Amino acid sequence: MILTPDNEYLAVLDACVLAPMPLCDTLLRCAEEPALFRVLWSNETLNEVHRTLIKFGYTADQAEGRLRRMREAFPEAEVSVPPNLVNGTPDIPDPNDKHVVAAAIHERAHVIVTANIQHFPAELLKPHGILVHHPDDFLIHQFHLSPGRILEVLDTQASGIRLQRKDVLQKLKNGVPNFVRLVEGQI
C-alpha cells in the first residue's frame, strides 16, 4: 500500500478489537482504500487474537484462516517489534500488553484502539504522542471525519454478509453503542 495524505493516521489495534468479528470487520474495512487510517498490529497481537478465537469456539483452522486473510489484506500492518523495545516500554497495568505499546512507539503510531483503556494509561503514552481510544470513541471520530465513508463501510459490510446496515449496527451495538446511536441518528 502506498501511503497518501488520506491514510497516514496510524492506528495500532489491540487484540480485544480484532477478535470480535463485527467490530474487526468494521475497523478493517475503514482501513481499506480509500483508507481513513493505516492499521498496525504486532505478531503477538495476532497470536492473542488466535487464542481468543479458539476460546470463542473457532477451530484452529478457522482461526488461522481468519488471521491469514487479515495478513493478506494488510501485509504492511504487521509490525516487528525489537525485544529490547518491548522490555524498555513504560510499565503498564497489564505487562502482557507491552508489545502493543512497543508497536505503537516503534511505528510512531497516533493511537492505540482498545477496549481495555485501563491497560494503557494516557500519562505514560503522552510523552510518545500516542493517544488511547476505545473503539466506540475511535469510530465516532472516524464518522465525524468522514460520515459518507463510514456509511459506505457499513453498507459494504452488510452486503458482504447479505444483510442490511441496521443488522450490522445491531451486531455492533454491545461493543460500540455510542457509535451505533450516532449512526442511527444520522439515517
pLDDT digits (tens, 9 = 90+) for 45-86: 999 999 999 999 999 999 999 999 999 999 999 998 877 766
Q: Which CATH topology does 5-186 take? A: Rossmann fold (3.40.50)
Within 10 angstroms of residue 38's Cβ, the number of other Cβ atoms is: 21
pLDDT digits (tens, 9 = 90+) for 157-187: 999 999 999 999 999 999 999 999 999 997 6
pLDDT digits (tens, 9 = 90+) for 77-124: 999 887 776 666 767 767 788 899 999 999 999 999 999 999 999 998
Residue 29 pLDDT class (50, 70, 90 cuts): very high
